[in-house]
Amino acid sequence: MGLETRVYQKENNLRFGKLLRASLTDMVSSRFLATQLAVRDIKAQYRQSYFGILWAFITPLTTAFVWIFLNSTGTIRLTDTGVPYPVYAFSGTLLWSIIKEAINTPISSTNAAKSILTKINFPKEALVVSGIFKLLFNSAIKVLLLVVFIFVFGVGFHWSLLLLPFALLAAVFFGITIGLFLTPIGMLYKDVGRLISFGLGFVMYVTPVVYAIPKEGIMRSIMLWNPFTPVIVTARDLALGQPLQFLPYYIGLLLACVPLLFVGLVFYRVSIPIIVERMSA
């Protein structure tokens, strides 16, 4: 009986490995298709908008300015951040918008392709890669404005700023990992998309996005355990030249995301064709 169990597990491992290899292969082989889809979507996104590319800045800027106004007028009292608050608030809201967009990228890219999924057979991973390309494009634009903030408000250049692109890639990696698990469920039930937006809105307020971690109390404990905290704080510390407060937690979190990303890719690969077949029935 024990021998049979071991053989069964071995077959499962081979099955998983084969699916993962096929998924990664399709991601690489479909990069041209993914690029074409991303370019098409980016052009459509900004061509059909009056403000065009400015929309990439508006959301994080608006959120940051609300908190800057509340803090400067004394409406709320925030813990000292150690850097000019406008830079702290904008960098936090910018990083949060990138993570939020990364989580939504797999589901939004896949949902947008519903009309062709049921008609054309192509690697579904191309949709994820296309979404990542769009996300990286939008993020690069936002980072340029962050650099302007850093110099305008007197923070200045630090060598750690050169590592910021790697921290942003890690934030995208973290968000995409979460998004892959949510995509199949989100395609089946539209309520999932609304729940994601609602949930992330709540999580933002228990993450040091626009205010520093309190020195004591239950909110401090929640923020310290929150997995979003090291992703936001480490990227901001690199941008602003601050000591890296959560480096061990940050590294451990990213290492844990590697196997989770592989599982998410296999889950996506297996579930999307089943959902597409159900949609076309």
How many C-beta atoms surround the C-beta of residue 278 within 10 A? 10
Q: For residues 97 and 171, what is the distance between their CA atoms, to the nearest angstrom?
A: 10
What's the pLDDT score for residue 13?
46
What's the pLDDT score for residue 104?
92
Tell me how far the alpha carbon of residue 260 is from its chain's centroid. Answer: 14
What's the pLDDT score for residue 51?
58
**Per-residue model confidence as pLDDT tens digits over 147-169:** 888 888 888 888 898 999 999 99
Least confident stretch, 8-12, 80-84, 114-118, 198-202: 8-12
What's the pLDDT score for residue 152?
84
Residue 29 pLDDT greater than 80, yes or no? yes
Q: For residues 84 and 19, what is the distance between their CA atoms, to the nearest angstrom?
A: 49
Averaged pLDDT of the chain: 84
Average pLDDT over residues 240-258: 92
- Percentage of the chain beyond pLDDT 90 is 31
Average pLDDT over residues 223-245: 93
257 burial type by CB count under 10 A (0-12 exposed, 13-18 middle, 19+ buried): buried
**What is the pTM for the complete model shown?**
0.86
What's the pLDDT score for residue 87?
87
**Per-residue model confidence as pLDDT tens digits over 60-98:** 777 777 877 777 776 677 777 788 888 888 899 899 999
User: Distances in Å between the alpha carbon of 173 and those of 50, 128, 238, 270?
Assistant: 31, 12, 17, 21
Average pLDDT over residues 113-120: 79
